[in-house]
Amino acid sequence: MTLKRFGVSLEDDLLKDLDKIVEKQRFPNRSQAIRSLIHKNKVEQFWEGDEIVLGAVVLVYDHNKKELHKQVSALQHEYHCLLLTGQHVHINKNNRMEIIALKGKANRITNLFNKLKAVKGIKHAELVKTGID
């Protein structure tokens, strides 16, 4: 991929904001920060446009509650066409972290995520979104 150079004009406040992003996220330079911001915006557009996307759901819950695990598993079976892989890790004697990799229409992945996070007993739920170029 060939790099193209171009000039960017920004107000002082926006330039200060960009420099804060560079510093806080430890980008090597402004160009890399701008690339990252563009990619993030592109991913949001994929998800808003209900494109085929990739996502990862991270759940934390008490694995001693057998009914809870059955509900999480049943939802995964209901949306089996989206699932790429899953993994669970026993964090301690009570807690399990489950990571579910998904590929499919953004709306379907969002629906599955919303159902999973609504299961009574889920302590934490997060959806990591990415797109496919």
Q: What is the pTM of this model?
A: 0.85
Question: Rounded CA gap, 53 and 51, in Å?
Answer: 6
pLDDT in tens, 9-65: 999 999 999 999 999 999 999 999 999 999 999 999 999 988 999 999 999 999 888
**Residues in contact with 25: Cβ distance below 8 Å, sequence separation at least 6, in sequence order:** 33, 36
